[in-house]
Amino acid sequence: MESAIVVKPPIINVAAICGSLRKASFNHSLIRSAIDLSKQSVEGMSIQYVDLSPLPMLNTDLEIDGKYPPAVEAFRQKILQSDCFLFASPEYNYSVTAPLKNAIDWASRPPNVWADKAAAIVSAGGGFGGGRSQYVLRQCGIYVDLHFVNQPEFFLNVFEAPSRFDDEGNLIDPQAKERLKSVLLALKVLTLRLKAK
């Protein structure tokens, strides 16, 4: 009797990018929680955090003989090798942070390594929960040819419910975790759809 062949779903490689460099930021917590969820309840998805802190500020004088600085090249390779992206985007002055915009610009230098890939955005903060930064990020994504998940959206107002995180900064709110999982599942669906083209 022949044994059944089990076909495993393809592994989607997700680059997780946080616009805050502060290690204790709530947006870093969202990335950590997404990584945990991908291991526990989102089959076929591997999320790797990509640190933006080594990147120099964009300066095309640093491009010598068609080559980028080592930290920039390492970052661009991580973006190139990823199937899709998860952005955790805090809101500074109604916009995205300088480190995040800098990273987008470096990876868009020729050849643009963002192009034709799926992306999702989550954010945590006060006021609108980082929502306005998401809309600015979507505008940037149009030019660099990213395909964003439109629904569900994920904004988390940490002032309305500070108990959403524990003392160590871990996301503990069950409803927020479920919403975050929904974003990951939508990102997976969109990524597979784009890869099937």
Which sequence spans correspond to the domains of the chain? 12-195
Residues 6+ apart with CB under 8 A from 87: 17, 18, 19, 100, 119, 120, 121, 122, 137
Q: What is the mean pLDDT of each run of 10 residues along the chain (197 residues)?
A: 67 97 93 96 95 97 94 98 98 96 98 98 90 96 98 91 84 95 98 93
> Left if phi > 0, otherwise alpha if psi is -120 to 50, otherwise beta: which for 158?
alpha
Gyration radius of the chain over CA positions: 17
12-195 belongs to CATH 1.20.1600.10 = no
pLDDT at 160: 74
pLDDT at 161: 66
Packing angle of the helix pair 26-40, 174-195 (nearest 10 deg): 70
Cβ contact 83:44 at 8 Å? no
* Burial (Cβ within 10 Å: 0-12, 13-18, ≥19) of residue 1: exposed
pLDDT at 128: 83
The 10 Å Cβ neighbour count of residue 5 is: 5
Distances in Å between the alpha carbon of 69 and those of 62, 75, 80, 86, 112?
7, 10, 16, 24, 16
User: Which pTM was predicted?
Assistant: 0.93
Alpha carbon distance 134, 140 (integer Å): 10
pLDDT at 163: 82
